[in-house]
Amino acid sequence: MTQFDARLYRARDYPRMPWRNGGGTTQEVACNPGGSTAGFEWRLSIADVGQDGGFSAFDGFQRIITVLEGAGIELTVDGRREPPLGPRRAYAFRGDAKVDCRLLDGPIRDFNLFYAPARWQARLQWLNATCAFHSSARAVLLLNASDAPLALTVDGARHELPSRHDCLHIETAGGLAEYRIEPAAASAALDACLIELLPVAA
């Protein structure tokens, strides 16, 4: 059995920070142990975007963005216009890219993963059905995107995410662990984002 530490981050407690350009606000969901907003190796955040505008640059990072709420966005990345990005469609790009964002039909809320590819490998996927899997990831994070409670069981230990945008962070010491993700109530729908992070071998 893999040793692990489980931490539940409640959406009601996420700190909210305004953007420097005034175009929106960001809530930090989680970051690597010992990290902070000013210095991190990986970070999850939720942003409220109220107007068209550019994204801040994050040199040395890879980004994956998904629309959580709202009609969607259209991104222009390094001068190339990308197809419209609707809800639950993840899009990856370099943190140092020049990115302009156009709202398709009003404000949106998005979910972001930032990670340093020199130090971490990352996998992000959206789930809409119960699933069971094995993973050797050092960090496993689960965001509940539904109003219904969500449950994650790791090596037989069950943890619940009670509310929308709550996040569960499983930090392991390495080795293979068994996971199961399901609605806490059998009749509820599942809507969640799963992130796995593995350190890059030296």
User: Per residue in 44-74, pLDDT tens?
Assistant: 999 999 999 999 889 999 999 999 999 999 9
Per the listing, tokens 């690597």 go with 32
User: Per residue in 137-154, pLDDT tens?
Assistant: 999 999 999 999 999 999
Question: 4-8+119-199, which class in CATH?
Answer: mainly beta
Instruction: Write the CB contacts of 27 (distance below 8 Å, at least 6 apart in sequence).
Output: 11, 14, 15, 16, 17, 45, 46, 47
SS3 11: helix
- CATH 2.60.120.10 residue window(s) in the chain: 4-8+119-199, 14-115
The one-letter code for the residue type at 158 is R
Sign, Cα dihedral of 134, 137, 143, 149: positive
Tokens coding 65: 């963005």
Tokens coding 118: 């020199």
Fold of 14-115: Jelly Rolls (2.60.120)
The pLDDT score that the predictor gives to residue 37 is: 62
Percent of the chain whose predicted confidence (pLDDT) is above 70:
96
Q: Which of 126, 170, 122, 118 is nearest to 146 (CA)?
A: 126
